Amino acid sequence: MVVPQRGPGERAVEISLRVPTDLSVVEEAVDLVARHCLASGLPPHTARFQLRVVLAEALANAIIYGNRMDPDKFVDVRVTVGRTGLTARVCDQGEGFDPTDVPDPTEPDRLERADGRGLFLIRQLADEVRFNERGNTICMVLRRA
């Protein structure tokens, strides 16, 4: 669902979608959001790179670690594009986790591990990353340069 929002001196667009717990739909969901963000004036490189990476990683984490691949659960995505940038919230139906308890995948003893880079990339590419108290919702902010 795409809803134009009007605030004081600003025109924003909000994109909401409910994603099933299915890794094969991540790409389609990210493409859908990126297309609407581009149409809403997000700079092309931000939509093509930063948004794609942070949203795809957040969705994959929500599906794999949050919902634990349970097909009865879903992931809610809400993206707002405004004059100052973009805010993306990804909420799963899992028990949540402690985001301060995630090791750095670039440490020498973790460099050859196959997993554990998703949240790291989100933190590197988003301008701001927040979690709710439960740890099942991530909020990522991309500011316009």
Partner 1 sequence: MSFTVRKDPKGVVVIGVDGQLIVGNRHELKQKVVDAIEVGERKVLIDFTNTGYIDSSGLGALVSLSKKLRDAGGELRLAGLNEDLRTLFELTKLDTLFTIADSADAALASF
Does position 38 interact with partner 1 (CB under 8 A)? The reply is no
Q: Which of 11, 39, 49, 132 binds partner 1 (CB under 8 A)?
A: 49
By beta-carbon proximity to partner 1, the closer residue of 105 and 135 is 105
CA distance 130 to 128: 7
Residues 63-122 binding partner 1 (CB under 8 A) are 105-106, 111-115, 117-118, 120-121
Query: H or E stretch including 87?
Result: strand 85-91
- Are 119 and 61 in contact by the 8 Å Cβ rule? The answer is yes
Look up residue 80 and give its DSSP letter: E
Number of shown-chain residues binding partner 1 (CB under 8 A): 24
Residues contacting residue 71 through CB under 8 Å, at least 6 positions apart = 20, 21, 22
Query: What residue ranges bind partner 1 (CB under 8 A)?
Result: 23-24, 26-27, 48-49, 52-53, 56-57, 60, 105-106, 111-115, 117-118, 120-121, 124-125
